[in-house]
């Protein structure tokens, strides 16, 4: 009786012969695992988009009336009035994305220690460096890309609903099509997401470091030490340099990445930022960006070392 049908291919059973794995495959699969295990990464932005779309749909009954008396109702330029709801949608999803990334980073290394799944993941041929990098890539790359994709889809649906509302009311849909600078809004939004991801890198990496070190109450351990340093500095020296540094890390990207006034010195309305106001060269040459990335790299290196020696809680 022949057993050739049950034999494994020769290339597999030969001793000492191994199929080389692609160097990025463990990282890609680790990132997929994070998405599978943390559905809130995309469920929360989708839920926010659905709620906003519902509110926008209800408000559409007022759109034709608002367009007819646009000049009398709002002194702002028409392009700014039309762009405002689309900008509000982007701001809402960006805020949701930040919250999702914030709390994901706080639980990234702590969760696997708490449920003892770290014992299983350490048994796999995946290095601690690959695991930590895959977790760090979620707030730095995956969440911004998800937020951008969901925002683009939401804004397109909003535009189509606005045009349909005008057609039903007997008006020309070209009014919305020509007045809404949708493509410019989306380019600027992608730029903002990229800027904030790089600028907030030390924040996310600090949260991951706390996640890998603290045994419980990760939120308190992440927030209270910086707060204590700021209070102690104010009491001891009557200064607030550390508090100013924290505020700069949260909000300083705007002055570095944008020209906040036009050529006449008039402040730019954040609901519509023209492409001419973007300053990527100045942002990339900003010392605050590179110092922040250096601090983020130090935090990541410490997180890798912690995961190598930390066990379950």
213-259 pLDDT per residue, tens: 988 889 999 999 999 999 999 999 999 999 999 999 999 999 899 98
What is the distance between the alpha carbons of residues 35 and 139, in angstroms, rounded to a whole number? 11
2-47 residue pLDDT tens: 444 444 444 444 444 444 445 567 778 777 888 888 888 999 999 9
What spatial distance separates the first Cα and last Cα of the chain, rounded to whole Å? 55
Count how many residues are written for the chain.
313
Cα torsion for 134, 138, 141, 146, to the nearest 10°? 140
What is the DSSP annotation of 272-283?
Answer: S--GGGB-HHHH
DSSP state of 22: P
Which residue, chain included where needed, has tokens 């100013």? 244
Q: Model's pTM, two decimal places?
A: 0.84
- For tokens 């492409």, the residue is 275
pLDDT tens string 47-104: 999 999 999 888 877 655 555 555 455 556 667 777 889 999 999 999 999 999 999 9
Q: Which two tokens stand for residue 161?
A: 């609903």
By the 10 Å C-beta count (0-12 exposed, 13-18 middle, 19+ buried), 28 is classed as: exposed
d(CA 113, CA 208): 13
CA distance linking residue 275 with residue 183, whole number of Å: 11
Q: Helix, strand, or coil here: 14? A: coil
Q: Residue 23's pLDDT is what?
A: 53
């Amino acid at each position: 009786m022949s057993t050739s049908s049950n034999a494994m291919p020769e290339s597999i059973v030969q001793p000492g012969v191994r199929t080389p794995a692609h160097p990025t495959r463990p990282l890609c699969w680790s990132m997929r695992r994070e998405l599978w295990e943390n559905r809130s990464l995309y469920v929360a932005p989708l839920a926010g988009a659905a709620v906003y779309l519902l509110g926008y749909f209800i408000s559409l009954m007022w759109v034709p009336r608002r367009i007819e008396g646009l000049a009398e109702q709002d002194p702002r330029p028409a392009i700014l009035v039309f762009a405002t709801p689309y900008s509000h949608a982007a701001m809402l999803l960006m805020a949701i994305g930040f919250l999702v990334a914030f709390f994901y980073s706080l639980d990234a290394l702590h969760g696997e220690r708490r449920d003892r799944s770290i014992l299983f993941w350490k048994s796999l041929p995946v290095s601690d460096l690959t695991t930590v990098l895959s977790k760090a890539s979620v707030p730095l790359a995956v969440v911004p890309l998800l937020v951008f994709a969901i925002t683009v889809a939401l804004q397109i649906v909003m535009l189509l609903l606005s045009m349909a509302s005008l057609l039903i009311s007997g008006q020309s849909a070209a009014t919305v099509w020509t007045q809404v600078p949708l493509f410019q809004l989306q380019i600027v939004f992608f730029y903002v997401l990229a800027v904030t991801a790089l600028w907030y890198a030390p924040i996310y990496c600090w949260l991951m470091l706390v996640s890998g070190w603290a045994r419980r109450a990760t939120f308190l351990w992440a927030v209270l030490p910086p707060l204590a340093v700021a209070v102690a500095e104010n009491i001891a020296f009557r200064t607030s340099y550390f508090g100013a540094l924290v505020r700069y890390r949260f909000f300083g990207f705007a002055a570095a990445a944008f020209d906040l006034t036009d050529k006449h010195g008039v402040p730019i309305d954040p609901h519509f930022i023209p492409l001419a106001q973007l300053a990527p060269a100045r942002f990339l040459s900003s010392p605050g960006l590179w110092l922040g990335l250096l601090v983020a790299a130090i935090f990541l290196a410490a997180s890798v070392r912690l995961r190598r020696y930390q066990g379950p809680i």
